[in-house]
Amino acid sequence: MTILGIDPGYATVGYGVIREEQRRTEAMEWGCVYTKKDDGDASIRLGMIYKGIIRLIEEFSPSGMSIEKLFFARNTTSALQVSEARGVILLAAVHHTIPIIEYTPNQVKLAITGSGSADKRQVQEMITRLLRLPEIPRPDDAADGLALALCHLNFTRGRR
């Protein structure tokens, strides 16, 4: 089973790809899709995000995708931009008939550390251990993508 975890954003989309075979889980790739104002208008930046996600889907053929649910309190412009980015990410998954599950930050923390109130550092240390990585994945957005993928794996294990 291969899972693509996505930490959505407009300037930075974090991702992590994990694969489980015979109860052994490994990180295949992690990183970020970046866009910046200099890249062009919203349509160009959203296209860059879409193409970045399509590349991951075509390279790794994930059987599932997990994405963080959004919670915004203040900046409506940022919320709209991230929502648009989520839209193209979800479109990429739907276009390739990949099931998508959304998880809240607390669900991810609980699945990874056993505590829904864990801090970012605790989550990063645990994914480093679980995936037997030599160091904490960087940047933080990529580590979040791996955490989302591991969260999805934990939830799907319970359904099998």
Q: Could you report the per-residue pLDDT of 127-157, keeping only the tens digit for each?
A: 999 999 999 999 999 999 999 999 999 988 7
72 three-class SS: coil
> Is 38 annotated as catalytic?
no
Residue 68 annotated in active site: yes
* Closest of 85, 82, 63, 21 to residue 149, by C-alpha: 63
Of 29, 38, 39, 68, which is the active-site residue?
A: 68
Contact 52, 4 (CB under 8 A): no
**pLDDT tens column, 60-110:** 999 999 999 987 667 788 889 999 999 999 999 999 999 999 999 999 999
Whole-number Å distance between alpha carbons of 46 and 35:
8
Helix residue ranges per DSSP H, the chain: 42-60, 76-95, 105-113, 120-130, 140-159
* Annotation says 119 is catalytic: no
Each domain of the chain, given as residue ranges in start order, spans 2-159
Cα angle at 57 between 68 and 130, to 5 degrees?
55
Please give the radius of gyration of the chain, using alpha carbons only, rounded to the nearest integer: 15
Question: Whole-angstrom Cα distance, residue 62 to residue 77?
Answer: 31
Given the residues 39, 135, 141, 144, select the one marked as catalytic.
141
According to CATH, the topology of domain 2-159 is Nucleotidyltransferase; domain 5 (3.30.420)
Exactly one of 7, 58, 135, 144 is catalytic; which is it? 7
Distance of CA 63 to CAs 1, 8, 31, 66, Å? 6, 19, 19, 11
Q: Average pLDDT of the chain?
A: 94
Cα gap 10→81, rounded to integer Å: 6
Q: What is the pLDDT of residues 57-71, one digit of tens each?
A: 999 999 999 999 987
